[in-house]
Amino acid sequence: MGIFHARIAIGQECIFRGDQSEFSDHPGYSIQYVRELERRLRKAKAAPQEQGRVVPRMLKDSLHADLLSHPTTDEPHQRIGLQNGNTSNRLLGKDSFATLPEDVERPLEASSNEFSDVNQKTWKFEFHGHTSLLGFLGRLLDIRASNRQGEEPEGQIVEEFQNDRLSPPEETPTGLPDPVELYYPHHAILFIDTYFKSLHYIYPVIDQYVFMERSQALWTGQNDKFGRPVHQGFKSLYFAVLSLGALTRTWTEGSINGMDRYGWSDMLFEKSEALMGRPGSLSNLEAVQTLILLAQICQQQLNPNLAYTYLGQAVRTVFSAGMNRLTHFRSGFPQDSPGLVVSRTWWALYSLETECSVMLGRPDILGSDSCHNRPPPPLTGDTEAIIVPAMLGLSKILRRISKEMYWEHAGLGVKVEKAGALELELDAWAAQLPAKIRPTVQGDTLPALGGLTLNNHYWPELQKLMLRLRYLHAKTILFYLFFLHTQQKRRPHAEALSIYARKCTQSAVELIEGIHAAYCLHHFFRTWWNNTTYIAFGLSILLSLFAREPIKARPLSENLAHIEKALELLEVMNECSVARNIGNLARELVDTLLTARTDDQGSVESLSQLDMSMGINVEPPNQWDTPMGFDVGEGGMNVDFNSFNFFETFPLAFETTDGPEQNGNPWGQ
């Protein structure tokens, strides 16, 4: 029978079942009940066929059904299941609060029109929130059904009340399996191993066990353990993992099968991108994970503009499918896998979107945090997933820094006060992290190694290192505008500005020292070219200070020692054309400053040239016009955050004619 087959196939209770209490007094299911279920199943299968299409995989092969195939981890998290007896295909958001204790006041949104469902024409998950027209129409259908005794609503509102003409099915099966050779089974394991032993520990959005299981099905040309063919969404994710692994791998060979690092990564990137199809073609968890990885590839290639675009697509896909919310989907379906893969993916994306937006001086599209009611993973346990809530806390502070220090209009005194409060929040965030991943937030070069211990696992040390670098980056950004403000001749709040400028400088120094120590300790870390952003940020601050030192004192300057370390880091990443160009430009500036003429005019000339390249106005007109878009006066203090974009610090470094861009790089501009 259909219901028993569905239970066996997915290893869970059937998604089409009703409330168990309805049948608890019966030893079995009646023939009439089983026939009714089969009638509904036939109707669901027939609907797409009437449209002239072949039914793709059944619902169990989509996002929420895929969750059921994730294995239970060593420390399983309790499922946030939302059970009730509604067997309709459309379940409203009010059911999401069915498990609240009776003495807890229900939120007002509990009576809203929020719901989530699968469009059986396009086979995509769709979420519709409180103000959605479909939500209002759905409530009318509920009212109609309640006035027709025992009759369930016919059809689906996501199909009947919107035009899907331009939304093709997620995938059109050809009936012919792809040749196994197209998945490079003999080389893939090298790139997969690189990914899961490095960047996966920073953004653990993929379940490695499930990924390897489905990869095995690709390599053998077989179906998965549930008898399903490997679908298009996973194929796209598969190639994205391989591309990122190939890019960040430590290559001891000149080439593999005739291709080098860029050859493999570019080719695999293009395959993943092609399988994603046009925007909206895929709307499930694997589509979001793929977009996250494509964005990470762009970040490692130092194309933040395209990374920003992919992350925006990923966020919109999450919102479209409702993965950021605990919205009841269907009775008996879990809200997440035992390992909380949906929660991990969404909140890791939240952190990535925040950091990328700040790096570019652009607004993010995350909206208000009140829109996201899916809880993050707990900040406990012995799995790599604990970095997700750890970075989430830092990301929320970083969003506040971006908004309150750079976007909002306020007087200098207000900014000084807010900066002090935000610094306390940063330190409090670090203090509450678990000891195994808690970074040392103050000190010299020793904490840059992450406070290494002999009895710790591999991944906590890596996470501790990255959390420290991101803490220092956030602190540098927090005090950067005060560093710029000290360039004025006339400075209100001079004492606070001086203190905060020193903190900015110290954070920049520790950032460079920390990355330098990591490069000495972890050889694979040298292929994480996205660290160039941190290096260039710190380098720009130190070069600005170095230019203001007396010419005769420059050769023995302490700043010069840190600058040389930054240049050494950029030289190590000589395979990356952007890092190489930044290093060349910075080296030229250092040489110019060291050979500057000792007369006053020469000093002014060399200094003004550097300041122009840094975007800094040394002597602002009218004494009150401050550098980098600051405006202090009656209207308050306004900062043009676009001028904060660190990529404009070294503009010539990004005018490259060599490297992968020359060979049709898919993420080149």
pLDDT at 655 over 50: no
Query: Same domain, yes or no, for 366 and 412?
Result: no
C-alpha–C-alpha distance, residues 602 and 87, integer Å = 81
Name the domain boundary from 330, 353, 377.
Answer: 377
| Helices 494-521 + 558-572 axis angle, to 10 | 40
Is 450 contained in some domain? no
Query: Same domain, yes or no, for 210 and 353?
Result: yes
Sheet holding 91-92, edge to edge: 91-92, 115-119, 124-128
Query: Same domain, yes or no, for 275 and 390?
Result: no
Inter-residue long-range contacts of 490-498, CB under 8 Å, 24+ positions, other chains counted? 490/623, 490/624, 492/412, 492/413, 492/632, 493/412, 493/413, 493/416, 496/416, 497/416
Q: Report which of residues 652 and 328 the model is more confident about.
A: 328
- 126 neighbors 119 (Cβ within 8 angstroms): yes
Q: Using alpha carbons only, give the angle 459, 460, 464 rounded to the nearest 5 degrees.
A: 120
Query: Same domain, yes or no, for 327 and 407?
Result: no
Q: Report which of residues 667 and 432 the model is more confident about.
A: 432
- Amino acid 70: pLDDT: 57
Least confident range of 287-291, 370-374, 598-602, 626-630: 626-630
Domain count, the chain: 2
Name the domain boundary from 377, 397, 427.
Answer: 377
Least confident range of 94-98, 130-134, 191-195, 399-403: 94-98
- Amino acid 382: pLDDT: 87
Residue 223's nearest CA partner among 275, 186, 158, 177 is: 177
Q: What is the mean pLDDT of residues 225-254?
A: 90
C-alpha–C-alpha distance, residues 374 and 389, integer Å = 12
Is 46 contained in some domain? no
- The pTM (predicted TM-score) of the whole model is 0.73
- Amino acid 146: pLDDT: 67
Tell me the per-residue pLDDT of 190-224, one tens digit each, with 9 for 90 and over.
999 999 999 999 999 999 999 999 999 999 888 87
C-alpha–C-alpha distance, residues 42 and 53, integer Å = 15
Question: Which residue range(s) make up the domain with 414?
Answer: 385-437+457-663
Q: Which range, 1-10, 68-77, 330-339, 540-549, is most confident? A: 540-549
Tell me the per-residue pLDDT of 487-518, one tens digit each, with 9 for 90 and over.
665 567 788 889 999 999 999 999 999 999 99
Tokens of 528: 């994480």
Q: What is the mean pLDDT of residues 119-143?
A: 65
Q: What is the mean pLDDT of residues 269-283?
A: 89
Q: What percent of the chain has pLDDT over 70?
A: 59
Q: What is the mean pLDDT of residues 373-390?
A: 92
Query: Same domain, yes or no, for 466 and 337?
Result: no
3-state secondary structure at position 557:
coil
Is 194 contained in some domain? yes
Tokens of 436: 């195994």
Residues 6+ apart with CB under 8 A from 250: 194, 523, 524, 526, 527
- Amino acid 507: pLDDT: 95
Tokens of 669: 């501009």
What is the DSSP code string of 583-646? HHHHHHHHHHHHT--SSHHHHHHHHHHHHHHHT--SS-TTTTB-STT-B-STT-BB--GGGG-G
Is 573 contained in some domain? yes
Is 5 contained in some domain? no
Is 238 contained in some domain? yes
Q: What is the mean pLDDT of residues 614-621?
A: 37
Name the domain boundary from 353, 377, 401.
Answer: 377
- Amino acid 385: pLDDT: 94
For the chain, the average pLDDT equals 74
Query: Same domain, yes or no, for 290 and 366?
Result: yes
pLDDT at 629 over 70: no
| pLDDT band with cut points at 50, 70 and 90 for residue 311 | very high
Tell me the per-residue pLDDT of 563-590, one tens digit each, with 9 for 90 and over.
999 999 999 998 888 899 999 999 999 9
pLDDT at 121 over 70: no
| pLDDT band with cut points at 50, 70 and 90 for residue 112 | low
Q: Which range, 81-85, 103-107, 227-231, 657-661, is most confident? A: 227-231
Query: Same domain, yes or no, for 427 and 529?
Result: yes
C-alpha–C-alpha distance, residues 116 and 112, integer Å = 13
Least confident range of 274-288, 397-411, 626-640: 626-640
- Amino acid 625: pLDDT: 33
Nearest 5°: phi and psi at 378?
Answer: -70, 150
Residues 6+ apart with CB under 8 A from 580: 570, 571, 573, 574
Query: Same domain, yes or no, for 362 and 221?
Result: yes
pLDDT at 187 over 80: yes
Q: What is the mean pLDDT of residues 323-351?
A: 86
Query: Same domain, yes or no, for 406 and 348?
Result: no
- Amino acid 273: pLDDT: 93
Query: Same domain, yes or no, for 472 and 609?
Result: yes
CA-based torsion, 456, 460, 465, 470: positive or negative = negative
Q: Which helix (H) or strand (E) holds 126?
A: strand 124-128
pLDDT at 122 over 80: no
Q: Which range, 310-319, 449-458, 580-589, 657-666, is most confident? A: 310-319
Is 598 contained in some domain? yes
Tell me the per-residue pLDDT of 2-44, one tens digit each, with 9 for 90 and over.
333 333 333 333 322 333 333 344 444 555 655 666 666 655 5
Tokens of 227: 């008898």
| pLDDT band with cut points at 50, 70 and 90 for residue 227 | confident
- Amino acid 561: pLDDT: 94
| pLDDT band with cut points at 50, 70 and 90 for residue 384 | very high
Q: What is the mean pLDDT of residues 417-422?
A: 95
Query: Same domain, yes or no, for 533 and 629?
Result: yes
Query: Same domain, yes or no, for 337 and 478?
Result: no
Distances (CA, A) of 175 to 56, 172, 205, 283: 11, 9, 31, 22
Is 173 contained in some domain? no
